[in-house]
Structure 1
């Protein structure tokens, strides 16, 4: 193998604490094909640049500040910071209006908003430094992986590179190249020579070989190039077990050269991919979801291969923290992969995305296997609104999952989304009133609905009661293009409800309740626990809103409590009591007692189900 003058680049505002899985995978694929690329994490380089150049008390940018900017992708902030000449002509009045909008929407704290201009002023010199470094490798090809707010940083660097070295071929790939967005990039920016759509593993070696040899590019599915026809049909897909283990050596080499390595290392996580697509989306596409534009088809690695990825990455990089980038965990892994991971006895810490209808045993097995954090797509605590989303779960199941996660020390990342077309407004004050009983569980973030390309709401807005209004507000402040060209580049879109509703008019109470929940949880979440004795249950409530309360439940009351552990209707609890020999109680008596428990905040009542909220105090051994 030898250096064939190929450089792969990941630009800001990719998260600092994770290497680019795209660069890691393509590096491995190219090496397997006899090409040794250079991979560069210019997001780390940019943070180091800012650390060295923004030294004033009102200028310095912390790692948390970087993450806040990176997380504001839906407001286009990362792109706007790099939207400077020669990418876009100076427009002070437009920029002022954009910053006013960010302040109004409280996208960032005022302290950080005041530092954005200083960050932006560093961009031209940083880009010039990147060009110099790229030219130092004498590249024939530079490939950019672009997702979310990496587009403009990548385009700005590509343009400056082309001005200095027109012969260098620039290739773009990643989620921002999916569907019409890829053709939009090629049509709008002459600094982009080739756009790869979909999975690059099956075609990247041949494509790079053609470019390095100076050969005309033949038509290929999944490859867009000027003057080259695209064959009909889908781009090729690879077998998941044929995808190589990513090589993240470039990331750790880059990190070692920074002055913030010691601060960042505790948060570093390695991306691992065990599946592509979404098995739930194949059955029922969630109405708001814009992921998997190219293909929803779900494919996963074999259990043996998934184990190999975790073990090989951990051994190679001496690392134990991972983020699975899968859209959803393979259900088969819950039965087969988790026990194998537990058997290995490794102290892994893994993040996975899941559905919310997990059982207690599944959550327990996850924690035993090292899955310490999940994103289960809860999205709401209203079953009618969940049905509008096509989530396939009910509110009581979402609450039950929060309890299981607290019981087994699995962190939960989740949102309450609002603003869905035709959502019943009365659900919002009802949800707000119910949150006080959940203060000991993981709190959510409240987020307004975004209409994203590829989602059912974007593809058929009128059918769902929406009216699209073009690209989201930030796009004209970021790109010089207008009209159809700007439309092709956009991923997020403005919209209005056909019935004229304004969700902000009825979500205020819920917003205040969510904020209070977060504050209580951060300050003192308190405890709600239960213990079982012979013929009785003792429930102790030490949550901040209560102070201290102790409940002794005996006989049928204790049995009723135990029957609510998994979530049950009054009829089911009544039947359980009869089976336990408590035949003197009617269903109305049972329903009345369950109502008292709900009033005391000891059970959560929704969908005619009652879910006990206390965590069992006795430690349980997973497995």
Structure 2
């Protein structure tokens, strides 16, 4: 996902009409193994999304299944089990689960499962409860807190009764404490069962801190796991059969692994691997376990399933200019991509096998070349009404967006973040405010939904920049509004975290997480991802003013329209039905007016616009062009930033 920004997804629809299907692929088969081979159970704990398989489990499962030391592989989607438990035995609704997934209150998911480490504790007598006091859903959160220990106990008993030799857990965001709780319960019931933890929460020093703090975790896999699973399985199998090297030489060579040495179980952390995992080493994901779990759930008819696809890893932009606030690529920034023909083949097989049309690219960002290749080579059958989602950079041209729309991309997460060039420079986004406005406009033209937020709180911000931005927002009411205004968080692995000289001073681990981890882990400096910092940038008063202005936009964008329509081959009419503006139709005369407005679809300065018109054979009387463009700006038909003007009406190509 990464975190996958996938919490913003709005896709979800029917399944393709059945065609004459090829022979169905069999369940992933295990090789012939000798007696005593390992039984492995992989677990996805809350609070992972329930409407999408875990890409981590789906990708790692084939590595276990293809290992000769493994005789049985299973995967449990405990997130689906937990939702069933909440709805049928606690009396809550799916919406309560989703509130935790959406992190309405930072750390609430971790706090809920911290009850497993302090049994019989009244949730209202914990320090975290003070963060929930007066919250609309506080009673539901407390019910979950009380229910978590029994759920974990029952799940642990089921796993032990299945005679699993190895239990592997994946953790991202609020999955840590739930995973710790299950590992501890499994160890209490079956001390010889081996527990392994991996995932984004285990990257770098975080994995080392987890291993040192939680002794119920035998192994922590830090970083990408493709090079670690094989030798780790071999080591576990050798340990269980008494064939382990007494000097632990083999386990010391597994990159990034945390393990326990000697009779006292001293925690040892191997160095992280020095080379990234290339995509040819990443197996095709297997989603069968997810669908088996979902089919056994009472919620199966209520879930619009989406399939995660991984076309690349890393961030091509971050490898050049790491965005100052971003901590999503800890030890794996280098961008690596699958060949587009492989992506197409995996997408086709997933659709046919599981009869699902909604596909989510989990890539941090699709590279420009990959966008071009995927839109030309992702040739899925025309009668498959696919809906695709991906994260992209917001400086894509109109032809890129047009091609993405033709290929089936209906939603993008472009990382717009701001419409102010000075603020974007503080972020190192490599894009301007007017380019972001152009992207939003072109998405509307191409019928693509762009998911984005306004981020603020950057050291060096000036309230004056936001005053100018707020004045321009009414002209944008016809474009897709942001989901809200949010101050940035100080996150591990970000330049702001690594270099305090950039202006954000850490105050230590997030106060919410500190409260959530009470009774579970005391020292959080190396373990958590989010930190508190002194407020920076925008003032509190300007933040409130900006939030109000964005709120007006959010409330009215769906009913606002500003579109340019051809009256004839040489003339346009601009239809204006935006909130806060008089309803009108402005006919642009053939020649200068129409060609100038069309030329501003790309965004130009006045001198560049004059040159463009001159190339078209149109002489411009001194001052007339400037007056015309200023009039359009006053009418909200163009967006001005600095010396650049951009036509705001949708329906234009460039």
Distance 1:581 1:490, change over 3 A: same
1:508 is aligned to 2:547: no
Distance 1:231 1:163, change over 3 A: closer
CA distance in 2, matches of 1:482, 1:21: 27
2:108 aligned residue: 77
Shift of 1:198: 1.1
Shift of 1:234: 2.2
1:474 aligned residue: 512
1:393 aligned residue: 431
Q: Secondary structure at the match of 2:586?
A: strand
- Which of 182, 198, 218 is 1:173 aligned to? 198
CA distance in 2, matches of 1:71, 1:231: 34
CA distance in 1, matches of 2:331, 2:118: 28
CA distance in 2, matches of 1:74, 1:192: 27
TM-score normalised by the chain length of structure 1 = 0.92
> Would you say the 8 A contact 2:344–2:379 is kept in 1?
no
Larger deviation: 359-368 or 483-492? 483-492
Larger deviation: 336-345 or 145-154? 336-345
CA distance in 2, matches of 1:482, 1:162: 16
User: CA deviation digits over 1:246-280, x for unaligned, max 9?
Assistant: 1111111111111111111xx31111111111110
- Which of 86, 93, 96 is 1:61 aligned to? 93
- Which of 557, 563, 573 is 1:528 aligned to? 563
Q: Secondary structure at the match of 2:159?
A: helix
CA distance in 1, matches of 2:574, 2:104: 44
CA distance in 2, matches of 1:88, 1:332: 54
Shift of 1:94: 5.8
> Would you say the 8 A contact 2:221–2:228 is kept in 1?
no
CA distance in 1, matches of 2:373, 2:513: 45
Shift of 1:483: 9.7
- Which of 593, 612, 618 is 2:647 aligned to? 612
CA distance in 2, matches of 1:608, 1:309: 47
1:494 aligned residue: 532
> Would you say the 8 A contact 1:23–1:145 is kept in 2?
yes
> Would you say the 8 A contact 2:276–2:334 is kept in 1?
no
1:414 is aligned to 2:448: no
CA distance in 1, matches of 2:107, 2:279: 33
> Would you say the 8 A contact 2:394–2:431 is kept in 1?
yes
Q: Secondary structure at the match of 1:295?
A: coil
User: CA deviation digits over 1:169-204, x for unaligned, max 9?
Assistant: 111100000111101101111111100011112221
Shift of 1:434: 1.4
Shift of 1:401: 0.5
2:317 aligned residue: 280
- Which of 39, 49, 57 is 1:23 aligned to? 57
CA distance in 2, matches of 1:585, 1:484: 73
> Would you say the 8 A contact 1:527–1:542 is kept in 2?
yes
Q: Secondary structure at the match of 2:505?
A: strand
Alignment of 1:529-548 (within 5 A): 529-546=564-581, 548=583
Query: Which sections of structure 2, spanning at least 5 residues, go unmatched?
Result: 1-29, 262-266
> Would you say the 8 A contact 2:118–2:519 is kept in 1?
no
> Would you say the 8 A contact 1:418–1:503 is kept in 2?
no
1:372 is aligned to 2:407: no
1:560 aligned residue: 596
Larger deviation: 391-400 or 347-356? 347-356
CA distance in 2, matches of 1:405, 1:290: 27
1:241 is aligned to 2:280: yes
Query: Which sections of structure 1, spanning at least 5 residues, go unmatched?
Result: 105-109
CA distance in 2, matches of 1:482, 1:85: 9
Distance 1:527 1:582, change over 3 A: closer
Q: Secondary structure at the match of 2:412?
A: strand
1:402 is aligned to 2:446: no
Shift of 1:425: 1.5
> Would you say the 8 A contact 1:94–1:477 is kept in 2?
no
Shift of 1:364: 0.4
TM-score normalised by the chain length of structure 2 = 0.87
Distance 1:86 1:280, change over 3 A: same
1:152 is aligned to 2:177: yes
Larger deviation: 110-119 or 156-165? 110-119
CA distance in 2, matches of 1:94, 1:387: 45
Q: Secondary structure at the match of 1:147?
A: coil
> Would you say the 8 A contact 1:351–1:372 is kept in 2?
yes
Distance 1:418 1:483, change over 3 A: same
CA distance in 2, matches of 1:17, 1:137: 26
1:323 is aligned to 2:360: yes
CA distance in 2, matches of 1:358, 1:380: 16
> Would you say the 8 A contact 2:570–2:594 is kept in 1?
yes
> Would you say the 8 A contact 1:199–1:235 is kept in 2?
no
Larger deviation: 381-390 or 565-574? 565-574
> Would you say the 8 A contact 2:423–2:458 is kept in 1?
yes
Shift of 1:235: 5.4
- Which of 92, 96, 112 is 2:137 aligned to? 112
1:450 aligned residue: 489
CA distance in 2, matches of 1:225, 1:483: 19
Distance 1:324 1:87, change over 3 A: farther
CA distance in 2, matches of 1:470, 1:89: 30
Distance 1:89 1:391, change over 3 A: farther
> Would you say the 8 A contact 1:556–1:582 is kept in 2?
yes
Q: Secondary structure at the match of 1:616?
A: coil
> Would you say the 8 A contact 2:462–2:538 is kept in 1?
no
Shift of 1:212: 3.0
Shift of 1:503: 3.3
- Which of 31, 52, 55 is 2:88 aligned to? 52
Compare the two structures and name the one with the higher helix fraction: 1
Q: What count of residue pairs does the alignment treat as equivalent?
A: 601
1:11 is aligned to 2:60: no
1:314 is aligned to 2:345: no
1:209 aligned residue: 234
CA distance in 2, matches of 1:260, 1:482: 32
2:164 aligned residue: 139
> Would you say the 8 A contact 1:355–1:376 is kept in 2?
yes
1:101 is aligned to 2:131: yes
Instruction: Give the root-mean-square deviation of aligned CA atoms.
Output: 2.3
- Which of 73, 79, 86 is 2:117 aligned to? 86
Distance 1:18 1:12, change over 3 A: same
